[in-house]
Amino acid sequence: MTKEVFLQLLDELLELEPGTLTGNENLKDYEIWDSMTVLGFIALVDEHFGFTVSTERLAQAKTVDDLVALLDGRVSYK
Amino acid sequence: MIEMSVARVANVRLTGIAAAVPEQVFGLEQLSSEFGERDAQKINDLTGIRRRHITDANICTSDLCYAAALQLLSDLECNVATIDVLVMVTQTPDYILPATSCALHGRLNLPKSCSAFDLNLGCSGYVYGLWVVSQLLASGHLKRALLLVGDTISKLASPQDRSVAPLFGDAGTATLLEYDPSAAEMVFVMGTDGSGESHLIVPAGGFRNPRSSSTSERTAREGGNLRSDEDLYMNGNEIFAFTLREVPTMLESLLEAAGWSKDTPDAYVFHQANRFMLEHLSKRMKLPTDRVLYALQEFGNTSSASIPLTLVDQPPSSLKDGTSKLVLAGFGVGFSWAGVTLTCTSPKISNLVYLQHRNSEVST
């Protein structure tokens, strides 16, 4: 999966128009990024990448790029 | 390869199941008044929990299990003098001591020859209870066992903690099992990961951190939640991650050990934690989703009681007439998990018992 496609999945999770997120956004600026949406993120990664993200690292994530980094290179940058 | 124990138990039949819930119901209104309408609705949508039955201060786990047991014994016309063993599974006992099983032994007028003891487990507790009881019966020395499983977990949740308050309901259940050489084999798979100890915990009130004025004080925690150390703490992310890590493996090993395919069971009954998690799990495992049963919409997460309560509230049609093949699986607090493949032939499924608020009268 490319980073672009992954960002679109995050757009959908955060109820944004496709193509909104670019990576440097702060998660705390999105009111919808709460404990329930975080569960949705864990499910999204499990569904599309087949693994469970590190909950410690997820708790530290501050930006959208931090979420991308949790995938440990499973997304390509073209 | 698989780090789980497999146990096979023959000669034991599940004869019947009953469940009791408090009559008092909390719904969206209570959630909205505490957390606001928007959050309440979001919580509802994610968890799938629309209502929960909640005890008042006068109703304990034992009262719910007692009501369920009376209903079951009456429906089965079972003479209490024939019960050889009583096992109680709960994490919300009446007292620190004596064991709730002993108290219920007295109230149910069970004979002095009947052994009684408690098991302290939650989400996985019903399946562990079935395993222990069926092992006790399998040799034929003991003929009949009453398994009482229930919790009043709502009493441990801070009403101002949105990570737990909207989730939990209360229930007590009773299951009768008997020695029967013609019964189909049950296959169990169990596992434990004690490194999960701190992720679902009531930190104070035991002997590690005894109650004190400071442990009872509710203070602001993560996400603006108010909670004391005597209240239930749950790290939802850790629980979800644990579930994704262990439960698919457990179910795969269980089906394999039993020689069942995913299409063999007439119903899958999982611990009723939340709908989002169970739907994700079912989808990812490619289970026949129409056979995955849900009762959490009406009762929330009732801890150890959730599996038998679901069978009483949403009995699969095959359970009512003829032989039914079931997969039951519980997972959570501990971390602890257990699954069983169960083949039942026309067990008695009692009508759900509603225990009235305050005066504890029983109605069905």
Is the separation of the CB atoms in B167 and B199 below 8 Å?
no
Residue B59 has pLDDT above 90, yes or no: yes
Q: Which two tokens stand for residue B178?
A: 């008997």
Residue A51: band (very low, low, confident or very high) from pLDDT cuts 50, 70, 90: very high
- Alpha carbon distance B224, B287 (integer Å): 38
Given a cut of 60, whether residue B363 has pLDDT beyond it is no
Residues in chain A within 8 Å Cβ distance of B280: 43, 46-47
What integer pLDDT is reported at residue B203 of this predicted model?
A: 97
pLDDT score for B357: 64
Q: What does pLDDT average to over chain B?
A: 95
Share of residues in chain A with pLDDT > 90 (%): 81
Tell me the average pLDDT across B160-166.
Answer: 94
At B87-101, the pLDDT tens digits run: 999 999 999 999 999
User: Is residue B86 scored above 90 in pLDDT?
Assistant: yes
- At A49, the amino acid letter reads F
- In chain A, residues with a C-beta closer than 8 Å to the C-beta of B284 are 46-47
For the four alpha carbons of B295, B298, B300 and B305, in that order, the dihedral sign comes to: negative
Query: What residue type is B79 in one-letter code?
Result: N
Q: State the nearest Cα–Cα gap between A47 and chain B, in angstroms.
A: 7
Residue B361 reports pLDDT greater than 60: no
Cβ contact B240–A34 (<8 Å): no
What pLDDT was estimated at residue B356? 87
Where in chain B do CATH 3.40.47.10 domains reside? 11-182+350-363, 187-211+221-349
Three-state DSSP class for residue B301:
strand
Three-state secondary structure along A8-65? Answer: HHHHHHCCCCCCCCCCCCEHHHCCCCCHHHHHHHHHHHHHHHCCCCCHHHHHHCCEHH
Cβ neighbours of B241 in A, within 8 Å: 42, 52-53, 55
pLDDT at residue B91 in the model: 98
**With an 8 Å Cβ cutoff, are B238 and A59 in contact?**
no
Please give the order of strands across the beta sheet that includes B336-345.
B5-9, B186-192, B336-345, B323-332, B267-270
Taking one residue from A and the other from B, the number of pairs with CB-CB distance under 8 angstroms is 40
Which chain B residues in 149-188 lie under 8 Å from chain A, judged by CB atoms? Answer: 162-163
Of B236, B280, B284, the CB nearest to A35: B236
Q: Express each pLDDT in B251-297 by its tens digit.
A: 999 999 999 999 999 999 999 999 999 999 999 999 999 999 999 99
Q: What is the overall mean pLDDT for chain A?
A: 92
B244 CB within 8 Å of a chain A CB: yes
Overall average pLDDT of the B165-193 stretch: 97
Q: Do A42 and B240 touch (CB under 8 A)?
A: yes
**How many other CB atoms sit within 10 Å of the CB of residue A17?**
9
**Interchain CB contact of B220 with A (< 8 Å):** no
Predicted local confidence at residue B332, as pLDDT: 97
Q: Which residue ranges make up each domain of chain A?
A: 3-69
* pLDDT over threshold 90, residue B171: yes
Residue of A nearest to B43 (CA): A36
CATH number of this structure's domain B11-182+350-363, picked from the four choices 3.40.47.10, 3.20.20.140, 3.40.50.300, 3.80.10.10: 3.40.47.10
Look at residue B358 in the predicted model and tell me its pLDDT: 54
Task: Give the pLDDT confidence of B208-258 residue by residue, as tens digits.
Answer: 999 999 999 999 998 889 999 999 999 999 999 999 999 999 999 999 999
Which of B163, B167, B235, B237 should we substitute to test contact with A (largest number of A Cβ atoms within 10 Å)?
A: B237
Does residue B325 register a pLDDT over 50?
Answer: yes
What pLDDT is stored for residue A78 in this prediction?
Answer: 60
pLDDT for A9 beyond 70:
yes
* Non-local CB neighbours of A7 within 8 Å, separated by 6+ positions: A19, A21, A22, A23, A64, A68
B188 pLDDT above the threshold of 70:
yes
Question: Is CATH 3.40.47.10 the classification given to domain B187-211+221-349?
Answer: yes
Tell me B351's DSSP state.
P
All residues at 6 or more sequence positions from B191 whose CB lies less than 8 Å from its CB, including other chains: B3, B4, B5, B246, B250, B336, B337, B338
Among residues 19-78 of chain B, which lie with CB inside 8 Å of chain A? 42-43, 46
pLDDT value at residue B319: 86
Q: B360 pLDDT exceeds 50?
A: no
CATH architecture of A3-69: Orthogonal Bundle (1.10)
| Alpha helix positions (H), B259-357 | 275-284, 296-299, 306-313, 317-320
Which chain A positions have a beta carbon within 8 Å of B40's beta carbon?
none
pLDDT band at B340 (very low <50, low <70, confident <90, very high): very high
